[in-house]
Every structure is written in C-alpha cells, then in structure tokens.
Amino acid sequence: DWGIKNYQGASTEQKFLIEGIFPMGCVSIFAASGGVGKGMLTIDVALDVACSTSDPYKSSFGPPIKEHGSVVVFCAEDSQAEIHRRLELLDTENRRAYIETASNPNHLKLIPLPNAGGGFSIIEQGSEKEFRESALFKKIKDDLKQIKNLKLIVFDPLASFICGADTNDAGAMTFLMNTLQKLSSETGACCIITHHTNKPSKNQSGKIQEPGTLEELYHSMRGSSAIGNGARLVYVMGVAPSNI
C-alpha cells in the first residue's frame, strides 16, 4: 500500500499555524518554567486563530497567524474565572464577541477542567500493563473530529493528562506522543502541549546555574527524552545561554 509510487510528483506544502513555527497536522511542545506565562500565550494564540483576522501585532510568538479556524484548549490548571480575567486583559477590543456568530462561525472552546470534572488521562495501562488510549480520550477524540475547520488543539499542561503515568517512563511517553500525533494527523490540526522545565540547579557557591547551550536548554524539559523526540517542534522558553 505504501510503495514508492505514492511519493511521485510534487509533494504537498507544509502548512503552519504560525508562520515558520507550529506546523499543522503535527504535535508541538511549548515548554517553560512555572509562572512564565505559557497559559496566557496559548490563550492569546487561540484567540487570534479563532478570529477571522490576526491583530495588527502579529502573534504573541512573533510571526503572523497563517491558519484561522476553530480551537479547543483544555486548561487543566485554570478556572473559568481565571480564563475570563485573562481574556479581558488580552482582548480589550472584545473580538471574542464575534466568534461563533454568523459572521465568524469558528468555535473557540476554552475548557476549564477544574470546573468541568477535573483533568483526564489521555493514556492508561491495561491488565497486562500495556498502554492504550483511555476510554474518555477516545470519546473526546471523536468529539474533536466533529468540529468543523479545527485548526488548533491545546493540552495545558502535559502532566495533567497522564494521570498515573510517569513522565520519566520512556515507554509511556512514547505511546502518549504517538497517540497525540495520530490525533493531529486525523484532524489536520496543530496540537500544542505545554510542558514544564526543571528548576535550574545551583553551583557550589549557591548561584543559579542556567543552561549554557541550546542543547542544555532543550534537555531542561522534565521527564523522558521521548517527549521531545516525539514532537515535530519543541519550543523552550528560558534564559538565553550566554555563549549564543
């Protein structure tokens, strides 16, 4: 079924949610330490994607939004009230009032899991200790596939969606990333997972030792390297290494 004839002719162009970063139909990771503003940034991007046009300041990541459509954000740490306060700060022109209307039929679903039954696990272990998709995630995946023009799915943060699993377990994290990549492929949407980085260590004098290279910054993400290896893009926000 997958012979070389399937790879003849011109290839399809890689599309991006944000120009040059966050590819469509793929899983991306956005990692940073706690309190930096990962949730605020992803909500801002979600708003820009769901609106019919980007704001004049491009996107919060710099380059402009290239795909507009429906968005679903699973917020595991923020309540409805907190998300509402953030939207008021981000959307002073009240662009959100025109989403899900006749003029802009895109959907913007910001799901505050603390108000919606709590976090859920994407994967689980069976009786033979094998990993599989959880029953709830299968239902959620079916629901996501029904959303028209779905462009972005966000899980914020990763740790809240692997209940009972260990982020240091390479087998579990490989299955998780493969599961999310399948979701992206089947929906065509960009899937962004926010993730935490480890706290920087201290040297003998007690001074905080920040990453010295880009590789060290990449490996500052918590858990198994299978998390980063399973993503198409890894975007880590931190203090820039001094030798760059």
Record the tokens describing residue 73, joined without a space: 């954000």
pLDDT band at 239 (very low <50, low <70, confident <90, very high): confident
Record the tokens describing residue 52, joined without a space: 């019919």
Cβ contacts of 234 within 8 Å, gap of 6 or more: 28, 29, 31, 218, 221, 228
Q: Are 27 and 155 in contact (CB under 8 A)?
A: no
pTM here? 0.92
Identify the residue with better confidence: 211 or 228.
228
95-151 pLDDT, tens digit each: 999 999 999 999 999 999 999 988 899 999 888 888 999 999 999 999 999 999 999
Q: By three-state DSSP, how is residue 213 classified?
A: coil
Average pLDDT, the chain: 91
- If you ran DSSP here, which 8-state letter would residue 67 be given? -
Q: By three-state DSSP, how is residue 131 classified?
A: strand
Dihedral sign for Cα 200, 121, 45, 66, please: positive
Q: Are 141 and 132 in contact (CB under 8 A)?
A: no
Judge whether residue 53 has pLDDT over 70.
no
pLDDT band at 204 (very low <50, low <70, confident <90, very high): low
Record the tokens describing residue 118, joined without a space: 């709590």
| pLDDT value at residue 219 | 86
User: Across the beta sheet with 233-236, what order do the strands follow?
Assistant: 108-112, 70-75, 150-156, 190-196, 27-32, 233-236
Q: By three-state DSSP, how is residue 187 classified?
A: helix
Q: How far apart (Å, rounded) are the C-alpha atoms in residues 41 and 78?
A: 13
| pLDDT value at residue 146 | 96
Beta strands at 233-236 and 27-32: parallel, antiparallel or unpaired:
parallel
**Shortest CA distance to 227 belongs to which of 18, 62, 27?**
27
136-192 pLDDT, tens digit each: 999 999 999 999 999 999 999 999 999 878 899 999 999 999 999 999 999 999 999
